[in-house]
Amino acid sequence: MHNSLHASGLVQDRWSWRGLTSCHLLALALFASWLWPPGRQLWDSFDRHLFALLNAPLATSTSWAYLWGVASMRLADLVLGLLMLGFLLKGNWIFTGAQVRSALYAFLSVLFLLLLIRSILFSEVVRIMHWQHDGPSLVVDGAVRLSTLFPDWAEHWSMKDSSRRSFPGDHASVLLLWAMFLWPFASGRQRLLIGFLSVIVLLPRLVSGAHWGSDVFVGGMFLGLVSFGWGFYTPYAAKASTLLERLSAPVLQRLAKFPGLRRISLISG
């Protein structure tokens, strides 16, 4: 599915019908399994069991509660987001120093595409089809709420442990898009780190009950696959990256005149 990303440039200014079709077939098959009544029963069962497995220990394990209480804070989202960004910006690790800027611009352009698809198209379909629902912490009897365990944290650090609009998992779609983009360029050890970070980012909202498993693995994955397909298997990412390169060039050229900044791959590349 990623072959077109391996040529001379990070992204290619051409259509790749095989890759685009593969992304859409995978996305549609996943979504169909959720819409098909027998498949929906399996997903609903998966959702209930996953939530019970992750959420119930909050009531009995202090360390489990503290771990996910901290991880559910908005500040933790910021830290993890910066760490994810570091995978793109660190030169000569996944990308060479000369590729860092192109990699960042390509990812940001497709992230913008994902946000458009989510906010303009998919949200309207979800509304019309009445697919929207509450997260498990609001509907499961006996669900443990982190905001109840740590009221002071919830007041001062804005903890995410519930949602009235749980579908799809927005954080999950961004994370999965990030992982899909990095995966073909990463080595074995780097892929382990990408996978580990993906789990760390996904788990807090599943543990706290802000999202069901299917919100992440159906809704989030669907958006990630569709956005990835239209972003990287069409000329979109290449053209958007070229535009961003042209717009940012004057600023980066001035910043590169400073000796300390010249060593940063994003600026010097």
Length of the chain: 269
Q: What is the 3-state secondary structure (H, E, C) of the chain?
A: CCHHHCCCCCCCCCCCHHHHHHHHHHHHHHHHHHHCHHHHHHHHHHHHHHHHHHHHHHHCCHHHHHHHHHHCEHHHHHHHHHHHHHHHHCECCCECCCCHHHHHHHHHHHHHHHHHHHHHHHHHHHHHHCCCCCCHHHCCCCCCCHHHHCHHHHHHHCECCCCCCCCCCHHHHHHHHHHHHHHHHCCHHHHHHHHHHHHHHHHHHHHHCCCCHHHHHHHHHHHHHHHHHHHHCCCHHHHHHHHHHHHHHHHHHHHCCCHHHHCCHHHHC
pLDDT at 4: 40
Cα separations (Å) of 61 from 18, 136, 155?
48, 20, 22
Q: How many CB atoms lie within 10 A of CB 35?
A: 13
pLDDT at 9: 61
- Beta bridge mates, 159: 73
Token readout for 167 is: 């579908």
Query: What are the tens digits of pLDDT across the range 115-159?
Result: 999 999 999 999 999 999 999 999 999 999 999 999 999 988 888
User: Residue 187 pLDDT > 80, yes or no?
Assistant: yes
Which stretch of 5-19, 79-93, 147-161, 169-183 has the lowest confidence by average pLDDT? 5-19
Highest mean pLDDT among 184-188, 189-193, 249-253: 189-193
Contact 102, 9 (CB under 8 A): yes
State the Cα–Cα distance between residues 28 and 46, nearest whole angstrom: 19
> For residues 166, 170, 172 and 173, what is the CA-based torsion angle, rounded to 10 degrees?
130
